[in-house]
Amino acid sequence: MIGNVTELAVPRASLGEGPCWDAEAGALYWTDIPAHRVHGLTGDGIHTEWDAGQPVGAVVPRAGGGLVLAARDGFLAMDPGAGSLSMLAAVEPDIPGNRMNDGACDRAGRFFAGTMADDESPGAGALYLLAADRQVTKLVAGVGISNGIGWSPDNRRMYYIDSLTYRVDVFDYEAGTGAIGNRRTFASLGAGEVMPDGLAVDSEDSVWVALWGGSEIRRYAPDGRLTLSVDIPAANVTSCAFGGPDLRTLYITTAAGPGRSGGALFACPVAVAGLPANPFRG
Ligand code: ZN
């Protein structure tokens, strides 16, 4: 199912997060949250980084050009050519101890991203949706650490991780409106040292989950069965994303910590293609 996991020649992050493959640019983007950095790596190996000016948890391409960030203060547009930033929509401006974390866009181009407290207070965060008209809607309250988000190939379910629940959950999802409901457990890790963090969905509707504290990526079948475990030489595995021209490369972000390669960006070939990432359409 997968080939060798290799470290890519890019700077190691303190807390790598939010990998996203931009098919149009042929590039991977990811963030280093406490370093306020957005990183880019083209398919032919050219690395670029930008200063987001604040902690940044996720990055997605924007239809028509540029990038959109889920950052401390809210959703920001970034022009990578000029390096300039502008606020699209503030999120939780009344809660200075919170910041935005991981996120992803659905196929309609709505940006789903959540928040967390800097001190990881349980229930202090929420999951939000940024619509094309820049309206922000709170979808889920009482979130601990808002993390991985992805949609099933049939576009009828949305996978979601609040790391502090130690679960991957699934919602019924309405593609026309972006509404979610009927939240239930998809896979549970059980409370302990290992927390689920980011996720990516493949074309067979299996869910690849990064394990913080677990030195591992797991693949779960559509019925929630664990079907594959991939060892990663870094304790804190934060997220993963499919990329490359055929979406058969799994890119893996990590954070500093125990393990010989904490903070490295890894890649490995995968037999099954991932689903493409979607740009923000607003
Ligand atoms: Zn994360």
CA of 102 to the centre of ligand 1 (A): 5
pLDDT at residue 89, rounded to an integer: 98
A 10 A CB-CB count for 206 gives 20
CA of 100 to the centre of ligand 1 (A): 10
Q: Which residues pair with 222 in a beta bridge?
A: none
pLDDT at residue 191, rounded to an integer: 83
CA of 101 to the centre of ligand 1 (A): 7
pLDDT at residue 77, rounded to an integer: 98
Neighbours of ion ligand 1 (CB under 5 A): 17, 102, 147, 197-198, 238
Give the number of domains in the chain.
1
Question: Do the domain assignments include residue 278?
Answer: no
Please, which residues have CB within 8 angstroms of residue 46's CB and are 6 or more apart in sequence? none
Residue with tokens 């502008």: 86
pLDDT at residue 259, rounded to an integer: 73
- Return per-residue pLDDT of the chain as tens, 282 residues: 999 999 999 999 999 999 999 999 999 999 999 999 999 999 889 999 999 999 999 999 999 999 999 999 999 999 999 999 999 999 999 999 999 999 999 999 999 999 999 999 999 999 999 999 999 999 999 999 999 999 999 999 999 999 999 999 999 999 999 999 999 999 999 888 899 999 999 999 999 999 999 999 999 999 999 999 999 999 999 999 999 999 999 999 999 987 779 999 999 999 999 999 999 999
Question: Do the domain assignments include residue 162?
Answer: yes
Q: Is residue 235 exposed (0-12), middle (13-18) or buried (19+ Cβ within 10 Å)?
A: buried
Question: Do the domain assignments include residue 58?
Answer: yes
CA of 224 to the centre of ligand 1 (A): 20
Q: Is residue 23 exposed (0-12), middle (13-18) or buried (19+ Cβ within 10 Å)?
A: middle
Q: Which two tokens stand for residue 252?
A: 């893996």
Query: Which is catalytic among the residues 32, 162, 197, 202?
Result: 197
User: CA 85, CA 88: separation in Å to the nearest integer?
Assistant: 9
Question: Do the domain assignments include residue 279?
Answer: no
CA of 31 to the centre of ligand 1 (A): 10
- CATH classification at residue 170: 2.120.10.30
Question: Do the domain assignments include residue 120?
Answer: yes
CA of 281 to the centre of ligand 1 (A): 23
Question: Do the domain assignments include residue 44?
Answer: yes
pLDDT at residue 104, rounded to an integer: 98
Please, which residues have CB within 8 angstroms of residue 249's CB and are 6 or more apart in sequence? 242, 243, 267, 268, 269, 270
CA of 58 to the centre of ligand 1 (A): 9
User: CA 177, CA 179: separation in Å to the nearest integer?
Assistant: 5
Active-site residue, 154 included: no
User: CA 276, CA 282: separation in Å to the nearest integer?
Assistant: 18
Question: Do the domain assignments include residue 33?
Answer: yes
pLDDT at residue 81, rounded to an integer: 95
Question: Do the domain assignments include residue 276?
Answer: no
Range of the domain at 170: 6-269
